[in-house]
Amino acid sequence: MPTDANDRTIAEQIQTLAEGAFQHTEPVDLPLEARATRTDRAVVGLPHERKRPKAPIWMAAAAVLLVVAVALTAFWPSGRDATELQTASKPGPPATTATQPVQPEPEVITLPAAAAVPDPVAVDLSEVGLDHPDNVVLGLRTAWLATSTRGIVVSTDRGASWTTSIAPFNATPGCMNGDEEFVVGVSQFEDGQWLTKLWQGPADRPPKPELAVALQMAEGVPMAGTDSGELALFCRPAKVGDRWAVAASDGTSLTVLSVSSATNDLFLNVLTFPPEWRLEGGLSQTNLYASGDRFIAEICVVVQSLCSTTTLSFPATALESTLEHMHIVEPGQSPTSIAERYGISLRDLLAANPDSIGPDLAQNVEQWTIPGVGRIDPGTVSTSLGELGQLDDPRGQSHPLLFEGQGETWQVVALDVDGDPEQRYSGPGLYAVSRFGDGPVLLPDTEVWRVDVFPNAEGARVRVWTTSPSAENPEFEWYSWGDADDGWVPIADPVTPWLLVPESDSLVSFVEFGPDGLIRVLEEVESAE
Amino acid sequence: MPAHTAGVTLKPEHSAGAETLRLAKQEFTQFAVVAEPRLRRALLGAVGVDRMPDAVGEALAYGWQHWYDVREVTNPVGYLYRVGQSKVRVPKPPRLFRERSVELPDVEPGLTDALLRLPQSQRTALWLAYGCQWTRAEVGEALGISASTVGNHIDRGLQKMRQEMGADRD
A304 CA: distance to closest CA in chain B (Å): 9
- Give the residue with greater pLDDT, A412 vs B57: B57
Instruction: Average the pLDDT over A432-452 and give the result.
Output: 40
Q: What's the pLDDT tens digit per position in A275-295?
A: 777 777 655 667 777 777 888
Instruction: Average the pLDDT over A404-428 and give the result.
Output: 39
| Contact in structure between A234 and A213 (CB atoms under 8 Å) | yes
Query: How do the domains of chain A map onto residue ranges?
Result: 54-109, 125-324, 328-371, 390-526
Query: How do the domains of chain B map onto residue ranges?
Result: 18-100, 104-170
Asked if the peptide bond before residue B93 counts as cis, ω within 30 degrees of 0, the response is yes
Is residue B124 pLDDT above 80, yes or no?
Answer: yes
Separation between Cα atoms, residue A361 and residue A340, nearest integer Å: 19
What's residue B170's pLDDT?
A: 53
Q: What percent of chain B lies above the pLDDT cut of 70?
A: 75
- Give the residue with greater pLDDT, A486 vs A392: A486
Most confident of A297-306, A310-319, A497-506, B101-110: A310-319
Q: For B130, which DSSP code?
A: I
What's residue A117's pLDDT?
A: 25
Q: What's the pLDDT tens digit per position in A175-197?
A: 433 333 344 444 433 444 334 44
| Contact in structure between B51 and B94 (CB atoms under 8 Å) | yes
**Structurally, what CATH architecture does the domain formed by B104-170 represent?**
Orthogonal Bundle (1.10)
The contacts of residue A347 (CB under 8 Å, 6+ apart) are: none
Q: What's the pLDDT tens digit per position in B156-169?
A: 888 888 888 876 55
Q: CB contacts < 8 Å between A and B, how many?
A: 249
What's residue A2's pLDDT?
A: 35
What's residue A199's pLDDT?
A: 45
Question: In chain B, what is the greatest distance between 2 CA atoms, to the nearest angstrom?
Answer: 78
Instruction: Average the pLDDT over A395-402 and give the result.
Output: 45
Is residue A261 pLDDT above 70, yes or no?
Answer: no
Confidence of residue A91 (pLDDT cuts 50, 70, 90): very low
Confidence of residue B27 (pLDDT cuts 50, 70, 90): confident
Separation between Cα atoms, residue A309 and residue A295, nearest integer Å: 16
- Map residue B55 onto helix, strand or coil: helix
Query: ipTM score here?
Result: 0.78
Q: What percent of chain A lies above the pLDDT cut of 70?
A: 21
Cβ-defined contact of A27 to B112 (cutoff 8 Å): no
Confidence of residue A488 (pLDDT cuts 50, 70, 90): low
Residues of chain B neighbouring A233 (CB-CB closer than 8 A): 30
Cβ-defined contact of B169 to A9 (cutoff 8 Å): yes
Of A19-23, A402-406, A515-519, B40-44, least confident by mean pLDDT is: A515-519
What's residue A449's pLDDT?
A: 42
Question: In chain A, what is the greatest distance between 2 CA atoms, to the nearest angstrom?
Answer: 110
Confidence of residue A64 (pLDDT cuts 50, 70, 90): low
Residues of chain A neighbouring B61 (CB-CB closer than 8 A): 31, 34, 37
Cβ-defined contact of B64 to A31 (cutoff 8 Å): yes
Q: What is the mean pLDDT of chain B?
A: 74
Nearest chain B alpha carbon to A49: B65
Residue A514, Cβ density class (10 Å: 0-12 exposed, 13-18 middle, ≥19 buried): exposed
What's residue A268's pLDDT?
A: 66
Q: Where are the alpha helices (DSSP H) in chain B?
A: 14-65, 67-70, 76-87, 111-116, 120-126, 136-143, 147-165
Of A282-286, A376-380, B41-45, least confident by mean pLDDT is: A282-286
Q: Which amino acid is at A227?
A: D
What's residue A61's pLDDT?
A: 57
* pTM, two decimal places: 0.33
- From the list B17, B97, B140, which residue is nearest A24 (CB)? B97
What's residue A462's pLDDT?
A: 56
Confidence of residue A24 (pLDDT cuts 50, 70, 90): confident
A107 CA: distance to closest CA in chain B (Å): 13
What's residue A348's pLDDT?
A: 73
Residues of chain B neighbouring A395 (CB-CB closer than 8 A): 129, 136, 151
Cβ-defined contact of B108 to A121 (cutoff 8 Å): no
What's residue A132's pLDDT?
A: 40
Cβ-defined contact of B8 to A161 (cutoff 8 Å): yes
